[in-house]
Structure 1
Amino acid sequence: VVGAMLWGSHAERAAVPALITWVVPDGLDVVEAACVPVAFGTADDCLFEFGHLQSGESVLVQAGAGGVGLAAIQMAKRAGATVLATASSDEKLERLRDYGLDHGINYREVDFADAARELTGGQGVDLVVDSVGSTLTGSVQALAYRGRCTLVGQAGRDPQPFDAAALMMGNQTVTGVFFGAEITTDRVQSMVGRILEEIAAGELRVVVDRTFPLADAAGAHAYLESRQAFGRVVLVP
Structure 2
Amino acid sequence: MKAAVYNNPGPPTVLKYADVPDPVCGPDDVLISVEAISIEGGDLINRRSTPQQSPSIVGYAAAGTIISIGANVRDRAVGEKVAAFDMHGSHAELWSVPASRTWLVPVGLEMAQAASLPISFGTAYHCLITKGGLGEKETVLIQAAAGGVGLAAIQLARDAGATVIAAAGGGERQARLTELGASHVIDRLEKDVVEEVLRLTGGKGADLVIDPVGSTLQASLSALVPEGRLVFVGNAGGGGLDVDLWLPMQNNQTLHGVFMGPLFERPAVYRTVSQLLEAVAEGRMEVVIDRVFPLHEASKAHEYAETAKPLGRVVMVP
- Check whether the contact 2:141–2:165 (CA below 8 A) recurs between aligned residues: yes
**Counterpart residue number, 1:202:** 283
**Counterpart residue number, 1:46:** 127
Q: How far off is 1:11 after superposition?
A: 1.7
Within the candidate set 266, 279, 296, 1:215 is matched to 296
Query: In the aligned structure 2, how far is the partner of 1:210 from the partner of 1:172?
Result: 38
Compute the TM-score of the two structures, normalised by the length of structure 1.
Answer: 0.97
SS in 2 for 1:16: strand
Q: Look up the equivalent residue of 1:62 and give its one-letter code.
A: Q
Matched ranges for 1:46-195 at <5 A: 46-195=127-276
Query: In the aligned structure 1, how far is the partner of 2:260 from the partner of 2:112?
Result: 21
Superposition RMSD on alpha carbons, in Å?
Answer: 1.0
Give % identity.
48
Q: How far off is 1:227 after superposition?
A: 3.1
Compute the TM-score of the two structures, normalised by the length of structure 2.
Answer: 0.73
SS in 1 for 2:95: coil
Q: How far off is 1:160 after superposition?
A: 4.5
Query: In the aligned structure 2, how far is the partner of 1:180 from the partner of 1:53?
Result: 22
Give structure 1 regions of 4+ aligned residues with deviation exceeding 6 angstroms.
Answer: none
SS in 2 for 1:168: helix
SS in 2 for 1:234: strand
Query: In the aligned structure 2, how far is the partner of 1:90 from the partner of 1:2?
Result: 33
Radius of gyration: which is bigger? 2
SS in 2 for 1:199: helix
- Greater share of strand: 2
Q: Deviations over 1:50-83 (max 9, x none)?
A: 0110011000000111100000000001100000
SS in 2 for 1:14: strand
Query: How many residues are aligned here?
Result: 237
Q: Look up the equivalent residue of 2:129 and give its one-letter code.
A: F
Q: Deviations over 1:183-225 (max 9, x none)?
A: 1111121111000001111111011111111110111111112
- Check whether the contact 1:113–1:142 (CA below 8 A) recurs between aligned residues: yes
- Check whether the contact 1:6–1:16 (CA below 8 A) recurs between aligned residues: no
Whose relative contact order is higher, 1 or 2, with alpha carbons under 8 Å and at least 6 apart? Answer: 1
Q: How far off is 1:16 after superposition?
A: 1.0
- Please, which runs of 5 or more residues in structure 2 have no aligned partner? 1-81
